[in-house]
Amino acid sequence: MADTSQPVRRAALFASGVALLGLLTACGSESATSSGTPEPGSVPPPGSARSSSAEPGAGTAAPDDTTTAAGAVPSGTAGSASASARTDGRCHTGELRASVGRVDPGAGQRNFPVVLTNTSGRTCTVHGYPGAAFVDASGKQLGPDPERAPGSPRTVTLAPGSSAWAGLSFSSPQISGARTATPATLLVTPPDEREPLKVRWTAGEVPVGGNASSVSLTALEAGTGP
């Protein structure tokens, strides 16, 4: 009888080898899929680093964090830009306080410094003449608007807390004989603004009509008075 055991053993051994090779191939494929790690030299798909960073301790989180930091504007630089922007532009009514200084009499004139003070936290500018009007307790204007005195208006830069002043002048009514009234308030409007500031008027009567009744106002200049 022919001996068939050797061919059978070879066939069995070949089948076992094929099965083992298939098992190893399957295990290797499953490992690469679950790790998500690209092969050396391959390019990860867009967004893969950001998605991976959602996992605590993921090895791809560091590149994502680095990209974010490089694209961010340093806080100190952003603050400097904002501060620079706040120093530009004219002073608005809501950023100023108006006041009237002490009378400076002389040669039949009554002269008052009308002062605008920067109460904001930024540097701003004023240029030219403020507006002014005397009004009674009901808000009705007394007399015409002041005339602008000849001068050369210039821009005054006001840091926070700094002031500019304009001279308000008129002939003393006792000397001029002009018709007078006693205002309750002086309205002061900063240059190029529409809303006035209210200042309580405590300096007595002012000319509102008749001869020599004009009131004049100078352009603003730095400081609180002469």
134 falls within a domain: yes
Question: What is the predicted pLDDT for the residue at 88?
Answer: 57
Which domain, by its residues, includes 192? 93-222
> Is 4 inside any structural domain?
no
Examine residue 215 and state whether it is found in any structural domain, yes or no: yes
- Residues 95-104 have pLDDT tens digits of 999 999 999 8
φ, ψ dihedrals at 172, nearest 5°? -60, 125
Asked if the structure places residue 204 within a domain, the reply is: yes
pLDDT tens profile 78-88: 333 334 444 45
What is the predicted pLDDT for the residue at 10? 53
Burial class, 115, CB count within 10 angstroms (exposed 0-12 / middle 13-18 / buried 19+): buried
CB 98 within 8 A of CB 132: no
3-class DSSP assignment, residue 165: strand
Asked if the structure places residue 70 within a domain, the reply is no
Residue 136 lies in a domain: yes
> Is residue 35 assigned to a domain?
no
Q: What is the pTM of this model?
A: 0.61
Q: Would you say residue 186 lies in a domain?
A: yes
100: nearest Cα among 86, 110, 90: 110
Tally of domains in the chain: 1
Task: Identify the CATH number of the domain in which residue 115 sits.
Answer: 2.60.40
